Amino acid sequence: MSRPELQAPPEIYYGDTEAKKYTKNTRNQQIQADMTYRALELLNLPPDEPCFLLDIGCGSGLSGEILDEEGYIWAGVDIAPSMLEVALEREVEGDLFLQDIGQGFGFRPGSFDGAISISVLQWLLNAETSHPTSSPPHRLTRFFTTLHSALRNPSRAVFQFYPTSDDQIQLITSIAQKAGFGGGIVVDYPNSKKAKKVFLCLFVGGGGGAQQQIPQGLEGEDDEHARFERRREKLKTKDRSGKRKNIKDRDWILKKKELYRQRGKEGVPRDSKFTGRKRKATF
Amino acid sequence: MVRLVTHNLLACHVKGCTTNNFPLAFQDVQIELQEAEFNPEFVKNLIPRLEWGALADAAKQVGDTSLPPEEPDMMDDDLLQKLHHVLLEIHVIEGAMVCPNCKHVYPISNGIPNMLLAEHEIG
Ligand SMILES: C[S@@+](CC[C@H](N)C(=O)[O-])C[C@H]1O[C@@H](n2cnc3c(N)ncnc32)[C@H](O)[C@@H]1O
Ligand SMILES: [Zn+2]
């Protein structure tokens, strides 16, 4: 079968059935989680500052769940209503927006401390309609320009994506550069057909020289699962001065479960998947 | 879920709509309160990015009058708690956000704002 982005527009391809299938597949969950941890590592956020992040093409919240676990506050955008629906069902904590990133963002300057995007960018390389404003270069330009302004100076945006050619990489990086970004491509396990992963690592601002060096790709063949576990460990052991919640922190899990339980008990309003614990009147 | 923190960072992105395009006005909104863990450092980090007047006003629109209309010089713990509540615990789940300039309506349904633009509105 050809690649998803060649089959149908994203909001059609990720319809109800595919959105559920995509999210439930445990192998897919693991791959997306692994890439999310690696993207967070490449984001290189200041260790002691609680951050506000943007998840671009957040889908059903597979990355978002990790952002929650790691104690980040975040907002996510996606063009597929069915994927967002699944994210709501999974009760991720980020704010979700139905948005076509090719139309650009309206976020005010300096809104976010960083952005991640997992397995999304390749979707912008296909024209949505025959309208001139929907050509890939137009869409990429609007996307990168408005993203650049939405990010703080200095900060980073890290994209894992699936390019099919060097020309595509060239197109994306040149447009990102014109939009004001520094940075470049990081390839993990370049010699492994299975493990190879491409990350676009973009910088806003110089951030004092050494900080904004393009990171090294990982080498070797590396076993996928070991890699995943290592990344989890690494992030977990980072000193967050107790502000980040450890994934395996029992108190935290209990508290969270308790919270969900209480939300469930209260019942949900009509037409809403929300399960808040207190409710106020409508205005 | 549109929390007021995100609302405060959001302007209209319709083509040519570049002045007076913030803050988006709430219309017919329904809100829900959800407890969130208080992290004073996070709130402090956000303050420089906020438009205080717009935040106090948005809070008022959804029935919360705990914030002073102008940014105080001193941030004490009590105020940080109030900010935390306003920014992160109030969720708008139904209604709309309307641009004060071009009047574009961004509907909010089931907690998710629809930010999609029509072809002629794309910059
Ligand atoms: C392979 S999924 C990845 C989802 C999520 N990032 C993850 O890692 O599980 C690709 C996602 O990109 C979204 N997407 C594709 N084109 C988009 C666009 N133009 N604007 C917003 N989201 C888009 C799709 O709807 C889909 O949810
Ligand atoms: Zn407008």
Taking 3-state DSSP, the helix, strand and coil percentages for chain B, each rounded to the nearest 5, stand at: 35, 25, 45
Instruction: Tell me the CATH architecture of domain B2-121.
Output: Single Sheet (2.20)
Give ligand 1 pocket residues (Cβ under 6 A).
Answer: A 10, 14, 32, 57-59, 62-63, 77-80, 83, 100-102, 118-120, 123-124
CB contact under 8 A, B41 and A277: no
The runs of H, that is alpha helices, within chain A are 4-7, 10-13, 16-24, 26-43, 62-69, 81-89, 136-150, 166-178, 224-237, 250-266
Strand partners, A52: A73
Q: How much is the ipTM here? A: 0.97
How many C-beta atoms surround the C-beta of residue B28 within 10 A? 11
CB contact under 8 A, B34 and A276: yes
pLDDT at A278 over 50: no
Place of tokens 């017919």: B28
Strand partners, B109: B112
What is the pLDDT, as a whole number, of residue B41?
Answer: 95
Q: What percent of chain A has pLDDT over 70?
A: 73
CB contact under 8 A, A95 and B94: no
* Residue of B120, B20, B106 whose CA lies nearest to A97: B106
How far, in Å, CA of B101 to CA of B113, rounded? 18
What is the pLDDT, as a whole number, of residue A214?
Answer: 87
pLDDT at A263 over 70: no
Q: How confident is the model at residue A258 (pLDDT cuts 50, 70, 90)?
A: low
* Residue of A96, A62, A66, A54 whose CA lies nearest to A79: A96
Strand partners, A273: none
From chain B, pick out residues whose CB is under 8 angstroms from the CB of A113.
Answer: 45
Give the residue with greater pLDDT, A129 vs A220.
A220
pLDDT at A67 over 70: yes
How many C-beta atoms surround the C-beta of residue A166 within 10 A? 9
Quote the tokens at residue A256: 């969270």
The pTM for the full model equals 0.88
Place of tokens 């320009």: A145
The one-letter code for the residue type at A222 is D
User: How would you classify the pairing of strands B2-3 and B90-98?
Assistant: antiparallel
Task: List the domain boundaries for chain B.
Answer: 2-121
pLDDT at A248 over 60: no
B65 touches chain A (CB under 8 A): no
Average pLDDT over residues A95-105: 97
Average pLDDT over residues A171-175: 97
Average pLDDT over residues B22-44: 96
Please check whether residue A98 is in contact with residue A81, taking contact to mean a CB–CB distance below 8 angstroms.
Answer: yes
pLDDT at A231 over 90: no
DSSP B64-110: ---S-SS--S---HHHHHHHHIIIIIEEEEEEEEE-TTT--EEEEET
How far, in Å, CA of A196 to CA of A190, rounded? 5
From chain B, pick out residues whose CB is under 8 angstroms from the CB of A279.
Answer: 32-33
What is the pLDDT, as a whole number, of residue A264?
Answer: 46
pLDDT at A283 over 80: no
How large is the greatest C-alpha to C-alpha distance in chain B, in angstroms?
47
Average pLDDT over residues A189-203: 95
Which residues are CB-contacts of A32 (< 8 A; sequence separation ≥ 6)?
Answer: A62, A63, A118, A119
Q: How confident is the model at residue A268 (pLDDT cuts 50, 70, 90)?
A: very low
What is the pLDDT, as a whole number, of residue A225?
Answer: 53
pLDDT at B57 over 60: yes
Q: What percent of chain A has pLDDT over 90?
A: 66
Give the residue with greater pLDDT, A153 vs A233.
A153
Average pLDDT over residues B69-82: 94
What is the pLDDT, as a whole number, of residue A220?
Answer: 78
What is the pLDDT, as a whole number, of residue A201?
Answer: 97
What is the pLDDT, as a whole number, of residue A273?
Answer: 38
How far, in Å, CA of A224 to CA of A139, rounded? 34
What is the best residue among A123, A134, A197 to mutate for testing ligand 1's pocket, by most ligand atoms within 8 Å of CB?
A123
How far, in Å, CA of A187 to CA of A198, rounded? 5
pLDDT at B111 over 50: yes
Sign of CA dihedral A157, A159, A165, A171: negative
